[in-house]
Amino acid sequence: MSKARIFALVIAAVMVFGLLSACGGNTGGTTSTTAATTAATTAATTAATTAATTAATTAATTAAPTTEAATEAPTEPAEEVVELRVLNYIDLSAPGAMETLDVVWKAFDEAHPNIKVTREDEYNEPFHNSVEAYAAAGTLPDVLFAWPSGRSTTLHTQKLLKDLSPLVERDGLAANYIPQATMPENQAGGYMAMLPQGNTATHMFIANLEVLEDAGLEPATTYSELVEQVPILREAGYETVIMPNQDTWVMQSCLFSMVVGRFCGAGWENRILSGEAKFTDPDFVAALDFIQQMYEDEVLLQSSIALGYGDGPGQFATNQGAYYIDGDWRVGMFITDNTTGEALISPDRQDNFKITVFPEIDLPGVKLNASNSAVLGTGWGINAELEDGSAKLEAAWELVKWLCGEEVQTHMVRNGGLPTPSWIGIDYASLGLEPLQVQMANFSNEYSTSTAVVDGVLQGPVYEPLNDGLQALGMGVQTPEEVAQVTQDAFEAWDAAQ
């Protein structure tokens, strides 16, 4: 056979392969290129008939799908991954913070591979600044930590958070929570904008029995006794009361709210809001005057205004003062960090500290004693822009249910971050709580009446000037009457704008 004839047959074999490959359609590029090369080589080195047959057979086998492949059932499409932006509130320096990231967030990720959470962790003023910035820009996260009023006023009054009542009702969750947790009237916008994780006592008064014993003293039961202890404690090298007042909200929330309740009585906020009473009335001015008196009596030092919120617990735990004022949530700073095994106040010392409320204020004009300031606790809300029935809303709700559910709340009770949970039926006895946590669990026995928290019942434009005024009292640059007038002016301006 001539060389020209052989060459012609080789070309024909390659064309046959090409046609078969085009008809097959399922063959990858690498496989088809290999088949063509094999066919041409075989045709060039053997008889023309053998070359053509080999090329055609190879191409057909490679290109055409097998019967098994052709009849294989299509695979199920992968479940859609939903992405959520989350703004979280956490003090990463607090005991148990790293454990919380695992127990709460890592556990949710592992249980929900179809939900991708991008979390931003903030604390104290940076958190609130972020919320306001996101709200102003219209870029609020999908899920975020929130207060029922006060510091989250913008979210409530502008209805930037979704009403969770229909979701709670749909899933039959109300019976799992204390009644006030799901009552819309307990939140600033008049609807259920967030699901709270508990109730909060914004004031607690801790006595350091080690310091008092060293100074030959017992815990003060009245304000007069507290004043009498000041020179004795100073002589022994101790402050009387440690309170980190650098952030303006601390004095208002953790002390003054309790004080105004005692001087003005239960329901004072309703009388103010209705116009029946004013901030310039004698009883409210008397409450402001008492704060000024605490500085003048050196029960509180002016230097407390420079003490950062994160620095107070360390000073108290190292016996620099006899008493400490903060909110109930702060007990978590003193107990054992399960990550490091260390505690600011070790369990064997904790019985030397007594958690109670401020002593009886034995001064004229006081209407209540043995009282405290309390408010519905913080929790989680969902961006109102998430569409009903959407995959993103369902993913966000799944996260909120988890964050406010039994497992997470039990963890928070165990690590000291949640003294009074909203979930009903947590088994305290099984948690192995430390002495301070046990005291905190029984804290409500220390007072008989709860009164309003200022920033829980007033809007930011009203309480912010008051916060500044409370610091001004401590620095001696404003009088109680001046602070009262500034607050009343702010209230009237806010009221006129409604």
pLDDT for 41: 38
pLDDT in tens, 485-494: 999 999 999 9
Where does the pLDDT of residue 58 fall: very low under 50, low under 70, confident under 90, or very high at 90 and above?
A: very low
Comparing 186 with 217, the larger pLDDT belongs to 217
pLDDT in tens, 155-171: 999 999 999 999 999 99
* Spatial contact of 257 and 288, defined as CB atoms under 8 Å apart: no
pLDDT for 77: 54
pLDDT at 17 over 70: no
Mean pLDDT over residues 198-216, rounded? 97
Share of the chain above pLDDT 90, in %: 76
Where does the pLDDT of residue 42 fall: very low under 50, low under 70, confident under 90, or very high at 90 and above?
A: very low
pLDDT for 356: 97
- Per mean pLDDT, which range of 16-20, 219-223, 235-239 is the poorest? 16-20
- Per mean pLDDT, which range of 30-34, 311-315, 318-322, 374-378 is the poorest? 30-34
pLDDT for 78: 59
pLDDT at 50 over 60: no
pLDDT at 204 over 60: yes
CA 374/CA 372 separation, integer angstroms: 6
CA 135/CA 483 separation, integer angstroms: 30
Mean pLDDT over residues 212-232, rounded? 98
* Spatial contact of 351 and 372, defined as CB atoms under 8 Å apart: no
pLDDT at 435 over 90: yes
Where does the pLDDT of residue 225 fall: very low under 50, low under 70, confident under 90, or very high at 90 and above?
A: very high
pLDDT at 425 over 60: yes
pLDDT for 94: 85
pLDDT for 392: 98
pLDDT for 24: 38
Where does the pLDDT of residue 7 fall: very low under 50, low under 70, confident under 90, or very high at 90 and above?
A: very low
Where does the pLDDT of residue 65 fall: very low under 50, low under 70, confident under 90, or very high at 90 and above?
A: very low
CA 352/CA 292 separation, integer angstroms: 30
Burial 302-337 (b: 16+ CB within 10 A, else e): eebbebebbebbeebbeebbbbbbbbbbbbbbbbbb
Residues in the chain: 498
- Per mean pLDDT, which range of 73-77, 364-368, 405-409, 448-452 is the poorest? 73-77
pLDDT at 216 over 60: yes
Instruction: Map residue 382 onto helix, strand or coil.
Output: strand
pLDDT for 442: 87
Highest-confidence segment of 6-10, 62-66, 164-168: 164-168
Tell which residue, 125, 112, 123, 117, has the closest CA to residue 86: 117
Where does the pLDDT of residue 38 fall: very low under 50, low under 70, confident under 90, or very high at 90 and above?
A: very low
The tokens for 491 are 């209230």
118 - beta bridge partners?
85
435 CB contacts (<8 Å, ≥6 apart)? 347, 350, 351
* Spatial contact of 370 and 356, defined as CB atoms under 8 Å apart: no
pLDDT in tens, 268-309: 999 999 999 999 999 999 999 999 999 999 999 999 999 999
Q: Which helix (H) or strand (E) holds 227?
A: helix 223-235
Where does the pLDDT of residue 224 fall: very low under 50, low under 70, confident under 90, or very high at 90 and above?
A: very high
Mean of the per-residue pLDDT values of the chain: 87
DSSP string, 431-476: S---HHHHHHHTGGGG-SEEE--HHHHS-HHHHHHHHHHHHHHHHT
- Per mean pLDDT, which range of 18-27, 74-83, 205-214 is the poorest? 18-27
Where does the pLDDT of residue 416 fall: very low under 50, low under 70, confident under 90, or very high at 90 and above?
A: confident
pLDDT for 8: 41
pLDDT for 338: 82
pLDDT at 110 over 80: yes
Question: In Å, what is the CA distance from 186 to each residue of 92, 105, 192, 460?
Answer: 29, 28, 8, 17
